[in-house]
Amino acid sequence: MKHLVFAMGLLALVSCKDSKNQENINNKNVVEQSRETTNQHHQDEVSNVYDNSWTEEIEMDNGTKWEADAVTNEGVQEMQNSINTRTLNTLDDYHQLAEKLNDDKNYVVKNCTMKGASHDNLHVWLLPLKAKIEALSETKSFEEASKIKHSITENINAYNNYFQ
């Protein structure tokens, strides 16, 4: 009888250890999958910052440029001046550019009087630009900042292809 109790106790102990080991393995797998998902999400965000697929979504006004209000044109002109005249030698210079571009973008958003389809298409142009400016302000790498700035420049300069 003692041997039977001892064997049952030993079996229960081994079974409990195996269960804990399996639980630890499952927890490690969940953590690893979470890290992979987070890394993939970050990579997707970064690649979207360089992406100009918005050009596939924006529409023309029956084959011509949309009529934009003066405030929007002024704000975009200010963004073009900011991006073309800044000297960018340090990461801090890029962060300051992002701050200036954000101010210029906010000026457009707050003062725009456009309505209807022209306004809707302005948002197709503006939303990716907003994300790019935000990414530039948060970047930790000079090289990445340079790439984001290039994408912002393409975005800003494309405004004149769709609006007048």
Same structural domain, 95 and 144: yes
Is pTM beyond 0.85? Reply is: no
Same structural domain, 19 and 89: no
Same structural domain, 25 and 58: no
Q: Residue 63 in 3-state DSSP?
A: coil
User: Which of residues 50, 67, 89 is at a domain's end?
Assistant: 50
Which residue shows structure tokens 């890394």? 39
User: How far is 70 from 68, CA to CA, in rounded Å?
Assistant: 7
Same structural domain, 156 and 76: yes
Same structural domain, 66 and 45: no
Quote the pLDDT of residue 2.
60
Same structural domain, 90 and 102: yes
The secondary structure of residue 65, as a DSSP letter, is P
Which residue shows structure tokens 């109790």? 5
95-120 pLDDT tens trace: 999 999 999 999 999 999 999 999 99
Same structural domain, 76 and 119: yes
Please state, as a whole number, how many other Cβ atoms lie within 10 Å of the Cβ of residue 34.
10
Q: How confident is the model at residue 121 (pLDDT cuts 50, 70, 90)?
A: very high
Of 17 and 163, more confident: 163
Of 32 and 129, more confident: 129
User: Range with the lowest mean pLDDT among 49-63, 97-111, 115-129?
Assistant: 49-63
Which range of residues forms the domain containing residue 46?
1-50
Q: Tell me how far apart the 2 most distant CA atoms of the chain are, in Å.
A: 96
Using CB atoms within 10 A of its CB, is residue 78 exposed (0-12), middle (13-18) or buried (19+)? middle
Same structural domain, 61 and 35: no
Structural domain total, the chain: 2
Residues in the chain: 164
Same structural domain, 120 and 137: yes
Same structural domain, 65 and 136: yes
User: How far is 52 from 133, CA to CA, in rounded Å?
Assistant: 14
